[in-house]
Amino acid sequence: MSQINTIFKNMSWLFISQIIASICGFIWTILIARYLGVNNYGILGFAISLTGILFVFMDLGVGTYIVRAIATDYDSAPRYLGNTLPLKSLFAIGTFFLTLIILIIQKADMLTITVTLLFTIERILNAFIGLINATFQAFEEGKYQGIGNTILNLLLLIFILLTIFTDLGIYGISFSYILANLIALIYAYVTLTKHITKPKYEFDKKLCKEITLLALPFALTGFLSSVYYSIDMVMLTNMVGNYSTGLYNATYKLISVLTLFYSIYGAVFFPVMSKLYKNDAKLLIISYEKSLKYLMIVIIPIAIATMFYSTDIIQLCYGHEYDAASPVLSILIWTVCLLFISGVGNTLLNASHKEVTVTKIYAIAAVFNIVLNLILIPKFSFNGAAITTVLSDILIVVIQSYVIYKLGYRVNKKLYLDLGKIIIGSIILGITLYFLNLNMWIAIPAGIIIYFAVICLLKLFDDDDKYVIKEILSKNN
């Protein structure tokens, strides 16, 4: 099977699972927001954000390091897993108590403390799922991760529906997350041992120390990235209260549905790029170029359309109680475009053993994000947090592009021409939507037809793209 076919096969499994996950996530986001109300939804947002920031201490970059290590040496998998699974248990225990200490220092109320600790348990279970999924990625067996993701999200939706039906409140929502992740973890572990490899359990202190040290740059990047993307909700809660956090969290959840699709790209391409760095530098840069092109083809027109119909989307999802969140959605949608650009760059740099460079970039962005939030949140509340996020994303893309260029990765000038065509097509789409002023449901199919007609007229797809499509559609496995 060609590498393109393998990539497409893995992406197909993950894409289908992500569609299911996004539909489920979209439904439970709406249901939870309406069920809990703005204030309790703000508490939930705080709990998820704080545990998201501290999640790095449950993993310490081990998952990302494992993908790169095993992808280039499958025989090392049993030993790596046999040591990292016990190692992560120690990380998890430490993180639980660290979370409790932070909540006590913040003088959080009992409801916030309990909900946050319950989500800490959910994050611990998810961290072990992540490690096993990392092994699936390294072996390029995306179907197992895809099935696991589907099981997790369908179960979570079912448990949330039962919670709302039986009126178990915010505690019931929290336990729904824990139970769904526990069942998904059992599936992942059984599948790992049956179809991929069996961990060789031991606790080799030297190896564990080596793994931890080599994974630390990934851990620092993960921590800084979490701070960068989650600190705004923590700061909103402490500076302007749960109500503003609830509005911001509602918008952020919608954005998260789109950003989850980027995880498909990372899961599939990171092990591929790791191999290409070792074996074929030319193909490495080509994969980077094509990744940027294809991701931008999809996400830029979505951002344009979302900006025009933000009020309709918010009202459809949450009702008039959340109307004030529509400007936030118009701003935050652009973080998805920027995330896709920086995400492709991160994959290239991490695969090229430049993870320390990625860490430095996110350190700069995290400091910039916190300082700007301190300035803008008191003045503009959740809108200030949204503006800060976009400006921070722009900073990352600018620094990262400079670093990639200085490292000697020279992209084909045709990529800039292609990106220009995508932007032109998206602008024409936006102008058309503005003047036609269509109903949102009519605008969706009309916009798709208009956009793809324009980019086809601009001859965006070249012979290489046609070859990729031909390989994907080929029945010769």
**Averaging pLDDT over each range in 36-45, 166-175, 411-420, which range is the top one?**
166-175
pLDDT of residue 469: 57
* Overall pTM surpassing 0.75 (yes/no): no
Q: Average the pLDDT over each of 228-242, 307-321, 365-379 and give the range with the smallest value.
A: 228-242
pLDDT of residue 466: 65
pLDDT of residue 232: 76
Tell me what the mean pLDDT of segment 258-280 comes to.
60
At 66-108, the pLDDT tens digits run 777 776 677 777 887 888 888 888 888 888 999 999 998 888 8
* pLDDT above 90: residue 185: yes
Q: Please report which confidence band the pLDDT of residue 464 belongs to, taking 50, 70 and 90 as the band edges.
A: low
**Averaging pLDDT over each range in 181-185, 293-297, 335-339, which range is the top one?**
181-185
Per-residue b or e along 439-448, where b marks 16 or more CB atoms closer than 10 Å to that residue's CB: eeeebeebbe
Percent of the chain with pLDDT over 90: 18
Q: Please report which confidence band the pLDDT of residue 467 belongs to, taking 50, 70 and 90 as the band edges.
A: low
User: What average pLDDT is seen over the chain?
Assistant: 81
Tell me what the mean pLDDT of segment 97-125 comes to.
90
pLDDT of residue 162: 95
At 211-235, the pLDDT tens digits run 788 777 777 777 777 776 677 777 8
pLDDT of residue 476: 42
pLDDT of residue 277: 60
Q: Please report which confidence band the pLDDT of residue 14 belongs to, taking 50, 70 and 90 as the band edges.
A: low
